Structure 1
Amino acid sequence: MAGQKQTTLIDRVEFQGLGVHSGAPVRIILHPADSDTGITFLRTRLDGGRERLIEAKHSAVSATELCTIIGDAASGAVATIEHLMAALSGLGVDNVMVEIDGPEVPIMDGSAAAFVDGIDQVGVTRLSANRRYIKILKPVRVEQGRAFSELRPFARGFRLEVEIDFDTPLIGRQKRVLDLEPSTFRRDVARARTFGFMRDVERLWKAGFALGASLDNTVALGDDGVINPEGLRYADEFVRHKTLDAVGDLSLAGAPILGQYRSYCGGHRMNIAVLQALFADRSAYAIVESGRRESGHAEAGAARPALAFAAETH
């Protein structure tokens, strides 16, 4: 990490689409941003013409059921941020303001591919400030039943080991190991789509979820197999998408992680829970700056002790 500088976009880039849960049309614009501003969301078109700025950090997360939501319904929130956040983190973009005129980031094709393409189209530039990292100093783990998520020290960058285990032969047990770099992110996980079971559709609709889901943005599983005519993009697309989600959720640490992440039957809730557990223990991490020696422990954001969350099945 020696000598690495913070980055932002060279120019703004725009995306339009539907929210997978809300079904609402939405436009987002990614704007270049200054050093040390991180990723922020500017939620526009709120009641009364209001706008609200929300930092993309774990301390701003208000819900994790089927997606990750920052902010709150009363003053303004943004849902389903994980694929966009994964694209920014996977491509090493540190500072961006995301202007969004609706309650949910557009699902696009269900993966991070469209966001990656848009970022590549405008390009990434270095800024003058050194990049800061969150270095894991000792293991931190959260559990619920058979499921767990943990962060551990690791000598070489950021490694994710994600394992899923579904009680259906259509998915079964799958594991993926990813050393996060722009090249591996593009190749191995960026195109992996979200997925769901047809048997759950009516229940999700009644609960207000998946109102914008379709075969254009979701891998749909029926009783006998994948319903999408084109099939899967990868033989293990399911665990690759869970890895994509983990990259996005863990970027809410507020800086790139130097460490190893491991999970078994995890999901959005446990991804955020392990960040909460990490920042609740100031001896578990240090803030380090590229080109400098470690300066000791520091708080990277408000946090509370981790709780036991049920594992997700999405």
Structure 2
Amino acid sequence: MYQSTIKKSVELVGIGLHKGSPVKLKLEPLEANSGIVFYRNDVDVAIPLTPENVVDTKMATVIGKDGNVISTIEHLLSAVYAYGIDNLKVIVDADEVPVMDGSSASFCMLLDEAGRHELSEPKKVMRIKKEVVVQEGEKYVKLSPSPDLNYDFTIKFPHPIIKQQDYSLKFTKQAYKDEISRARTFGFVQEVQYLRSKGLALGGSLENAVVLDDKKVLNPEGLRYSDEFVRHKILDAIGDMSLIGMNFIGNYEAMAGSHDLNHKLTVELLKSEENYEVIELVGEKTKELEKAYA
């Protein structure tokens, strides 16, 4: 199995969640061993996708360099990671990635339009060798060895619509598109009001998020899945874990996980090479993984 990029450049325009202004996003091919690189063409700054460049994880995963940031990268990265794209230049003309409909479905369609181009270098993946856990109270995120890739997530909210939700994804690209990609980000109306008072979430609306009051979902079309909330948490986790720099083989498990805990998990994982090994996918052993990204 070989590294990949996209066949052709593609672009779209959408609203930024926090500023509420239009943002132009363009994806361009990159050569092998380049990784995922973000570039802000309004300030001429490139920001490589590494845990060291994460500068904020409160509301979203935010990367930065020299005081320049790009926010809300996780939904796009979730799609890129699910498609197995290894090398890509992501260009934006503002400090955030457009939110689109609050899911990663638009980015999946963009990647389908771009197509996949196989390069000449072997694909590298990280195989989890030891259990790695980050825990804060009852909340935790964990990676453990597994022959394939799985995501298991549990959330608990004291809300009559959400309550406790559990979801397990045995990863394939197709399973991701069918089960995860359409799940939207969500929030509570009182939180939205508070954020707007702070000059944030100015682009947030029922068009790009599931919004709840104390008792119900306010979106007139309702939910896309009865458990859309936990599915979106898996979508976020897949994007956040891309900060390790490559796809991985192992089991991800979370109880009330967050962008912050996911970031801390990537840092903890990379602290010691006892936790993982990087392998090149060559020969017969790659056949099953190739199917997963077909």
Query: Normalising to structure 1: TM-score of the pair?
Result: 0.88
Match of 1:241 in 2: 232
Match of 2:247 in 1: 256
**Which of 89, 109, 133 is the equivalent residue of 2:125?**
133
User: In the aligned structure 2, how far is the partner of 1:206 from the partner of 1:169?
Assistant: 27
The one-letter code sitting in structure 1 at the alignment partner of 2:61 is: T
The one-letter code sitting in structure 1 at the alignment partner of 2:121 is: A
User: In the aligned structure 1, how far is the partner of 2:256 from the partner of 2:19?
Assistant: 26
User: In the aligned structure 1, how far is the partner of 2:138 from the partner of 2:19?
Assistant: 32
SS at match of 2:27: strand
Superposed, 1:93-242 pairs within 5 Å as: 93-156=85-148, 158-242=149-233
Contact 1:52 1:75 in 2 (8 A): no
SS at match of 2:121: strand
SS at match of 1:210: coil
Structure 1 regions of 5+ residues with no counterpart? 293-314
Match of 2:37 in 1: 40
2:7 pairs with 1:10: yes
2:67 pairs with 1:70: no
Match of 1:301 in 2: none
SS at match of 1:62: strand
CA deviation string 1:107-133 (max 9, x = no partner):
000000111011111211211110001
> How far did residue 66 of structure 1 move?
1.2
Match of 1:85 in 2: 77
Match of 1:307 in 2: none
SS at match of 2:52: helix
> How far did residue 282 of structure 1 move?
2.1
SS at match of 1:30: strand
Percent of aligned positions with the same letter in both sequences? 39
CA deviation string 1:254-305 (max 9, x = no partner):
010111110101110001111111111221111111127xxxxxxxxxxxxx
SS at match of 1:107: coil
CA deviation string 1:129-184 (max 9, x = no partner):
1000111110010111110001100112x211111111112101111111222101
Contact 1:8 1:127 in 2 (8 A): yes
User: In the aligned structure 1, how far is the partner of 2:199 from the partner of 2:269?
Assistant: 32
Contact 1:28 1:100 in 2 (8 A): yes
User: In the aligned structure 1, how far is the partner of 2:250 from the partner of 2:10?
Assistant: 31
Between 178-187 and 231-240, the greater mean CA deviation after superposition:
178-187
> How far did residue 208 of structure 1 move?
3.1
Query: Normalising to structure 2: TM-score of the pair?
Result: 0.94
Match of 1:23 in 2: 20
The one-letter code sitting in structure 2 at the alignment partner of 1:144 is: E
Superposed CA RMSD in Å reads: 1.3
**Which of 49, 53, 57 is the equivalent residue of 2:50?**
57
Runs of 4+ in 1 over 6 A off after TM superposition: none
